[in-house]
Amino acid sequence: MWQLRTCLFSYAPLVLADRATQENMYKNYLFPAIYPMTEKEHTKTIELDPQPKLAENTKNGKSLKIGLVGNYEDTEETRFLLTPEGCGLLTSSGIKIVMECGAATDISFPDSAYTEFGVEIAKREEALKADIVLSYLPLREDDIKKMKDGASLFTMMDESLFEMKVIKALIDKNITAGCLDNMYSYNDEPVFANIIDEIDGRASIIYAQEFLSYVGGGKGVLLAGVAGLNPCEVLVIGDGTTAYSAAKAAMAAGAYVTLMNNDISALQVAKQYCGDALNTVAIHPRVLYNKVKGADVILIGECTRPFEFPKNLSVAIKDTVYVLNFNETKPSLSVPRTVAMAISNVLVNFFSDMLIKGGVNAMVSATPGVQSGIVCYRGKLVDKLVASYLNLSSVDIKVMLAASN
């Protein structure tokens, strides 16, 4: 009764209108069981408006095609960008992926592992015809010429991008080329570069331990100390994610670690990143000599300010010391599957965001962090460093985007 009274109270103005309105109210609102609807009323349907936004997203997803190509056989490169599971997350969202046959051999995945997740296996030429081509290292001139006009290429930065013939091929084919490790996330972090740097740093300690062990041709020394024995001394010279990750990995292995740099504020950051167990020391000639003299492992990276390891210190280095220069050696080459798994996690988010925004051009236009990694945009050279090295003119990508909008 309370519900009935509430309804009557709500519709009181209608009851007072006229007899026809009152009867219609009873039939349709209060007592539908007493006044059943006619067959015509019962079969009446309501037409809903279409959903253009949903249809547009589906269309963009189906039209997006990614070509995944492998590394060149005449290089030492082993790293790869996508795992089968990463491809599965992309294909489930409507993105089509065509992979070169045998492209994932370096990370120990057969082609069948990718086909299970909806990836099409084809020849390299067909993968290069995709809307977006993924390759760890930049493509060479011959492969760029096989790409579609106006397609996009995403790679990691490499010295081959400073070759005139490569840049000319990108311009001639109207290609948008971007380096993933030069791009920034929404919180201004070079997420792709950080992943590679961290893996390089951690893998360098694996190199060092293997070198010191009997298996690696060393004297059979363990980095960590045991009861009654001092641990090995690891000297890391440099700054950034690679140096910090190497220092943390060495400390985790039980070594005594010293990090040296020529900037005190950077050493303070390193202390916060690695913890109080890290020994931080400013680069000073006498101190550097003493540290090099006692080190069992020396890892050299980029310092905050320009620094070159003194050649005359080679006389102070132990005969059994392990020395690795991150500018010359990339330890992540020995763990390419880990690289692929880590990069895949970021690429899934990257292409999901691209799908939402409506394609490569919309992604570049709406994302400043992506713009920072673009070398060529729609056939125009926009990277000032590459242009300066090749003595070419470059275009400001922000001006191009403003003009297109």
pLDDT in tens, 199-219: 999 999 999 999 999 888 888
- The closest of 399, 362, 340, 359 to 156, measured between CA atoms, is 340
pLDDT in tens, 282-315: 999 999 999 999 999 999 999 999 999 998 888 8
User: What are 210's two structure tokens?
Assistant: 């293997």
Q: Determine phi and psi for 184, rounding to 5 degrees.
A: -120, 150
- The closest of 191, 161, 195 to 178, measured between CA atoms, is 161
Burial of 50 (0-12, 13-18, 19+ CB in 10 A): exposed
pLDDT at position 64 is 86
The residue to which tokens 């060149």 are assigned? 72
User: What are 16's two structure tokens?
Assistant: 């007072």
Judge if pTM exceeds 0.85: no
pLDDT at position 61 is 39
User: What are 311's two structure tokens?
Assistant: 């050649």
- Show the low-confidence residues of the chain (pLDDT under 70): 1-63, 405
